[in-house]
Structure 1
Amino acid sequence: MTAEFAVALPAVLLLLALLLAGSAAGVTQLRLEEAARAGARALARGDDAGAVDVIVRRLAGNAAASAVASDGEWLSVTVSDRVPGAVGSLVPWTLSARAWVRGESAGPSAAATVPWTGGHQMQGLTG
């Protein structure tokens, strides 16, 4: 019985490590998505990139990086960070999330935004 336990223990520990790394990645992805949405809402209100970075770091952590981009009337916030933990430090595992929103200058219909409808995009109401 001891020999079987000694053979099975490394496999059980590896499975546990993979489960913990997967849950850490899931929690990190949720934090990044929330930070990207909050940053996009701040952009829609007219805040500058510095204020967006403060919001992103407060929600996603100090190690998170944010980038603001403009594509015509659409603004986007991309937030990325590495997965924490032992597996995240061994494997360069970087996650990211992006949220899009129409800026205030796009007209009255651009001020309203809808929540996530799937994927990693926030869309303005039209019409």
Structure 2
Amino acid sequence: MTAEAAVVLSVLVAFTMALVWGLLVVAAQIQCVDAARTGARAAARQDPADGVVTVTREAAPRGARVTVTREGERVRVTVVAEPPGLHGLPFEVREEAVALVEDTVGAGEAGP
């Protein structure tokens, strides 16, 4: 009886740890999504580049890498982070957001 209990208990602990790890990964992914969107909005308003990176890093998970690029009328913000608890493993979450620069939105449309 005790041997079976020891095996079952260790399996339950491993399963619980896997669930907690999965929740941490999902939380990090959601933070990356929010950070990328926040950065894209700031870049679309043409905030200073340092300000865009600062705002994005504040919303991103700790230690995230932020990249801001402009491609014509679009800005692209990429946030890459390692989920907590997985330091040293080659696993990361990544999210991108793209927005139109506000000074070009509607520039070609004729007004009433």
- 2:87 aligns to what SS in structure 1? helix
Partner of 2:50: 50
Could you tell me how far apart the structure 1 residues matched to 2:88 and 2:76 are?
A: 31
One-letter identity of the residue aligned with 1:15:
F
Q: Which has the higher contact order (CA 8 A, sep 6+)?
A: 2
1:25 equivalent to 2:11? Answer: no
Q: 1:89 & 1:57 partners in 2: Cα distance?
A: 19
Q: How many residues align?
A: 107
Work out which of the two has the higher radius of gyration on C-alpha atoms and give 1 or 2: 2
Structure 1: distance between partners of 2:15 and 2:43: 42
Q: CA RMSD in A?
A: 1.5
Structure 2 CA distance for partners of 1:55 and 1:68, relative to 1, 3 Å: same
> Structure 2: which 5+ runs fail to align?
108-112
Correspondence 1:1-127 to 2 at 5 A: 1-85=1-85, 88-89=86-87, 91-108=89-106
Aligned twin of 1:115: none
Q: Which runs of 5+ in 1 are unaligned?
A: 110-127
Contact 1:74–1:100 (CA<8 Å) still a contact in 2? yes
* Aligned partner letter, 2:64: A
Equivalent position amino acid for 1:98 in 2? E
Deviation at 1:90, TM superposition (A): 5.2
8 Å Cα contact 2:35/2:60 also seen in 1: yes
Shift >4 Å, 4+ stretches: none
TM-score, length-normalised on structure 1? 0.77
Alpha-carbon distance, 1:70 to partner: 1.7
Question: Which amino acid in the other structure matches residue 27 of structure 1?
Answer: A
The answer to whether the Cα contact below 8 Å between 2:83 and 2:92 also exists between their aligned partners in 1 is yes
Q: Structure 1 vs Structure 2: percent identity of aligned residues?
A: 34
Going from structure 1 to structure 2, the CA distance change for 1:91 and 1:47 (only over 3 Å counts) comes to: same
Instruction: Find the aligned partners of 2:8 and 2:104 in 1 and give their Cα distance.
Output: 61
